[in-house]
Amino acid sequence: MSARSKARKRAIDILYSADVRQQDLVEALGAEAKRASSEPTREASWLYARDIIDGILESRAEIDEQIETYSQGWTLARMPAVDRAILRIGVWEILHNDEVPTGVAINEAVELAKTLSTDESAGFVNGLLGKIAEAAGAF
């Protein structure tokens, strides 16, 4: 697994944990930063995970609006928490991270959904991120 794939998984863990615990994302990020400082061997994954979370914090309203606009009748509250985390990462990478090709962002999100969520989640994530990417002209 690449360092970026590990970082995405780590970012999902932070987002999911904050969501389920109803914890402020800044606090969750701070707790993870403290833990990361004691794990120098995982520094590569931590740096990109932090970039993801920082980016989501900066653009959360826009990211959530995109998800709700294109999810066809599914509110964020109705989605499984892990799907919300995966989608937020995917949308951030598509809209705000020029270093990650759109296809890679979508494929990574779909693989995470296959591994971490329900049987239907991978198709949902793929379709939703595809619509957002197409609307943004990212393809």
Q: For the chain, what is the HEC assignment?
A: CCHHHHHHHHHHHHHHHHHHHCCCHHHHHHHHHHHHCCCHHHHHHHHHHHHHHHHHHHHHHHHHHHHHHHCCCCCHHHCCHHHHHHHHHHHHHHHHCCCCCHHHHHHHHHHHHHHHCCCCHHHHHHHHHHHHHHHHCCC
What is the pLDDT of the chain when averaged over all its residues?
A: 93
pTM exceeds 0.75, yes or no = yes
In this prediction, residues 11-37 reach a mean pLDDT of 92
Question: pLDDT, tens digit, for every residue of 66-82?
Answer: 999 999 888 999 999 99
Domain locations in the chain as residue ranges: 3-136
CATH number of 3-136: 1.10.940.10
pLDDT at 42 over 80: no
